[in-house]
Amino acid sequence: MTAQRRAIVDEIMRTRGHITPAEVAARVQEHISGVNASTVYRTLELLEEVGVLTHAHVDRGAAYHHAHAHDHVHLTCSKCRITRSVPIRQVDAESAAFFANTGFVPDFTHFAIWGLCENCADQS
């Protein structure tokens, strides 16, 4: 394992919550110059393949988080861009009735559900 890849893995393991590839690169470059985006992306993909990370499409790109924290759904406001998390068990319970007649079992953890937050909806 190269020093760059080791630094990327170390940063990921220290991170709590979500982190984008650009944030990983910026944090790692504070300690090791010359870390390029392709190394960050390849390392993130590898960590996802082995089950350490998972990602969700939030706002304009992928955000990664530890695989064991894969128990929430992202709700993103299309007006103010605030993203909040909702426990997956709450969404599963409420969506079960909606999908009951289709036999389809959705995976809400891989992407953000877009709409308006309570504050923005009240202003509309």
CATH for 97: 3.30.1490.190
**77 and 42, same domain (yes or no):** no
pLDDT in tens, 64-83: 666 666 677 888 888 998 88
**pLDDT surpasses 70 at 60:** no
**64 and 111, same domain (yes or no):** no
Calculate the alpha carbon distances from 115 to 64, 79, 92, 93, 94 in Å. 22, 8, 18, 20, 17
Smallest CA-to-CA distance from 12 within 74, 67, 57, 88 is with 67
64, 19 contact by CB (below 8 A): yes
**80 and 60, same domain (yes or no):** no
User: What's the whole-number mean pLDDT along residues 2-12?
Assistant: 91
35, 24 contact by CB (below 8 A): no
13, 19 contact by CB (below 8 A): no
Domain that holds residue 19: 3-68
**81 and 64, same domain (yes or no):** no
Domain count for the chain, please give it.
2
CATH number of the CATH domain containing 39 = 1.10.10.10
* pLDDT value at residue 113: 83
Task: Give the angle 53-58-61 at the CA atoms, nearest 5°.
Answer: 80
**21 and 63, same domain (yes or no):** yes
24, 40 contact by CB (below 8 A): yes
* pLDDT value at residue 74: 82
Cβ count near 97 (within 10 Å): 8
**23 and 42, same domain (yes or no):** yes
**59 and 79, same domain (yes or no):** no
58, 76 contact by CB (below 8 A): yes
